[in-house]
Amino acid sequence: GLLNIAHFDFTQKLLQRVSADLTSKLLENDFLRAKFLVRFVACCALANVIAFKDFFQLLNKLLDVLDRENIAPRTFDQVVYVVLASLPYLIGEVEAEDAEQLNQYIQRCQVYVRQRTHHKNPLLRVFPDDEAGTDIIEALSNCITECTTQGGEIQAILKPHRHFKSVLTGKKHEFGFDVVPLEAIADSSSFRPYFRIFEAESSPFKIDHPVMDRFLVSEYVHDILISFQVIHKEGTKQLLSINVPFDYAYIVIETLLSSLVSLPHPPLKLLITYGVYIVDLFNARKEVYPPLLGLAVNTMFSNIDAYDIQLRDRLSQWFAWHLSNFGYMWPWPAWEGVLELDPLDAPRVFVSNVLEKAVKLSYWERLQQTLPPIFGQLLPATPKPNFRFRAIKPTSSENKEFTEDERNVALAQALSVLI
């Protein structure tokens, strides 16, 4: 807004670039950056750079995609989510006339969310028996509903435009946007699940943040994980400096682990990236993140039999790697109960898988020395060398001659040492 007052022509070029980039990102199926751009346009409306009618026109063109044919249902999900993600920035910040139009777009999106059924694919459920599982788009829709009905201030969104209302009165730009180019876009992957590991009733620390604030911080964390996955050190700095007036450390752990158990595959390209982020957080706030992760892992472990079997394997792979970075230190006695279970019960299989993968990251003796002796029965068999040709006996004269030559060489070496 302030830039618009000082450099009007430059701001016009900037908006043209935003419009072109938005078209490009939609064409590339890059909905994450499309979400950032639409959110930026919403903030431009709040800063008096463009009129709200132009922003609503953008939303209208995006939602017109829902009336098209031959487009994958999950692409519809992505477009609706891009729209929904920008709406919390306007709730409570627009005049009555614009607020009424804003509610129309909210209702249009919520009708779509209620009517869709394709997200209930049982193969993509974290908990196979949970038919009512909630994904991110449904969770955001519910948060917006609660926020608009109950009111209240959204603390997780910065509102710098409020401090410059008397100044942001310059001339507005027109924001032009063409038709959304989605005809040839293929089906998109499913949204990650939205489930809470930490609940207010069972958590040892205070959790009383409004659902919208908790959701938005979770989205900030997820966006940072995706955007900085190749430069995790910078990503960790961003995770530690989210500007909200409450301690959100538990949301960081919760979001990391919920992202890790997404189906059919996690959002981050490399599974080890989750572990690296957690190790960085441990080093940055040693007094905060280790207890939180311990509580989260124990909570997930207590329900491990409800998880999809692929996710149990993924969790065991990450957890083994995590333990290898901290000397395999863990309150193992708390898990002694698995030793009394059937060998095929999920908790016992999970611990066995963790130890099997841990041996591959270290060596068998190290695990034996670190674990309580009672857990030795869950360790894999002691690895031994496999001499493939030890049992092969020479069957030809050439083999016999070669074996005799070998023995002669060994005898000569032994004699030379004695001499």
- Residue 329's region, left for phi above 0, alpha for psi from -120 to 50, else beta, is beta
Kindly report whether the peptide bond that precedes residue 373 is cis, defined as omega within 30 degrees of 0.
no
- Extract the tokens encoding 394: 């020479």
- Extract the tokens encoding 337: 């109960």
Residue 139's contacts (CB-CB under 8 Å, 6 or more residues apart) are 194, 215
- Extract the tokens encoding 3: 């830039």
Share of the chain above pLDDT 90, in %: 44
| Lowest-confidence pick of 43-47, 183-187, 228-232, 267-271 | 183-187
Residue 309's contacts (CB-CB under 8 Å, 6 or more residues apart) are none
What is the spatial distance between Cα 106 and Cα 85, in angstroms, rounded to a whole number?
11
Cβ–Cβ under 8 Å, residues 117 and 177: no
pLDDT band at 184 (very low <50, low <70, confident <90, very high): very low
For tokens 């800063």, name the residue. Answer: 47
Give residue 228's identity as a one-letter amino acid code.
F
Cβ–Cβ under 8 Å, residues 225 and 260: no
DSSP, res 126: S
Q: What 3-state class would DSSP assign to 9?
A: helix
User: For 308-354, what is each residue's pLDDT tens digit?
Assistant: 888 899 999 999 999 999 999 999 999 999 999 999 999 999 999 99
pLDDT band at 56 (very low <50, low <70, confident <90, very high): very high
Report the predicted TM-score, pTM, of the whole model to 2 decimal places. Answer: 0.84
DSSP letter string, 332-354: GGGGGGGGGS-TTSHHHHHHHHH
For residue 131, pLDDT beyond 50: no
Q: Helix 271-284 and helix 249-260: axis angle, to 10°?
A: 170
